[in-house]
Chain A
Amino acid sequence: SQQGEEDPQALSIQEGENATMNCSYKTSINNLQWYRQNSGRGLVHLILIRSNEREKHSGRLRVTLDTSKKSSSLLITASRAADTASYFCATDNNAGNMLTFGGGTRLMVKP
């Protein structure tokens, strides 16, 4: 079963609006990562947040982590049409020897 689950499965917004995606997971983690995938391509790493961190920023991206609720959120501010992609969260398993990816959120940003 998947360790991470994203919510919502799909999101459609206008350019300039903010987009928020959520990820929930089941077991304790070392870190949580977010990746982006453009249609039919490989995944690109966006940001990594460690289990002892609560918030992290990278450009227009803001990630929060709540280990008590086993959840994370990815906020993309001032979205652009180029942000249209699928976004995945990934967490490590109990043994820490692999990443498990969620099913992803498909984001569409309309110009």
Chain B
Amino acid sequence: DVKVTQSSRYLVKRTGEKVFLECVQDMDHENMFWYRQDPGLGLRLIYFSYDVKMKEKGDIPEGYSVSREKKERFSLILESASTNQTSMYLCASSRGRAYNEQFFGPGTRLTVL
């Protein structure tokens, strides 16, 4: 059974902290994605990666960075967390073309105080 896991379901951090969100997939997928989901705004793409050490900006990359050192792992980094980064963060992966079926993790609900 295919699986995408995220390091935390719930996370509470303080303004200015550096935050790491980890995502691991066991399907040997080339593509990995980070989204944030906010009420009324749907899912918005932050960054994606189509290969190890490769990354591309999505629609809202400001305030975020990513790291993909291994094929199965894609990390989202908030360099200095701010309250407007309070959100649900969803990781996904896919095989082949980036517009193929995506498999999602359970999400991390991040609250920045």
Which positions 49-67 of chain A face chain B at CB distance < 8 Å? none
Kindly state the separation between the CA atoms of A31 and B100 in the bound complex, as whole angstroms. 8
Which positions 16-51 of chain B face chain A at CB distance < 8 Å? 33, 35, 40-43, 45, 48, 50
A43-B90, A43-B104, A48-B101 as given contacts; A103 in contact with B45, CB under 8 Å: no
Give A60 Cβ to nearest chain B Cβ, in Å.
Answer: 19
Kindly state the separation between the CA atoms of A44 and B105 in the bound complex, as whole angstroms. 9
* B-to-A contact residues, CB < 8 Å: 4, 33, 35, 40-43, 45, 48, 50, 56, 58, 88, 90, 92, 97-107, 109
- Any chain B CB within 8 A of the CB of A25? no
The residue from B40, B99, B101 contacting A103, defined by CB atoms under 8 A apart = B40
Chain A interface mostly helix, strand, loop or mixed? strand
Report chain B residues within 8 Å CB of A48: 100-101
- Any chain B CB within 8 A of the CB of A71? no
Are B41 and A42 in contact, CB atoms less than 8 angstroms apart? no
The residue from A33, A40, A41 contacting B101, defined by CB atoms under 8 A apart = A33
Are A101 and B43 in contact, CB atoms less than 8 angstroms apart? yes
Give 17 A-B contacts (CB < 8 Å), ordered by A residue: A2-B42, A35-B104, A40-B88, A40-B107, A41-B107, A43-B92, A48-B100, A88-B43, A96-B98, A97-B56, A97-B98, A97-B99, A98-B45, A100-B45, A101-B42, A101-B43, A102-B42
Give A100 Cβ to nearest chain B Cβ, in Å.
Answer: 7
A88-B43, A92-B98, A104-B42 as given contacts; A98 in contact with B58, CB under 8 Å: yes
A42-B4, A42-B107, A96-B97 as given contacts; A103 in contact with B41, CB under 8 Å: yes
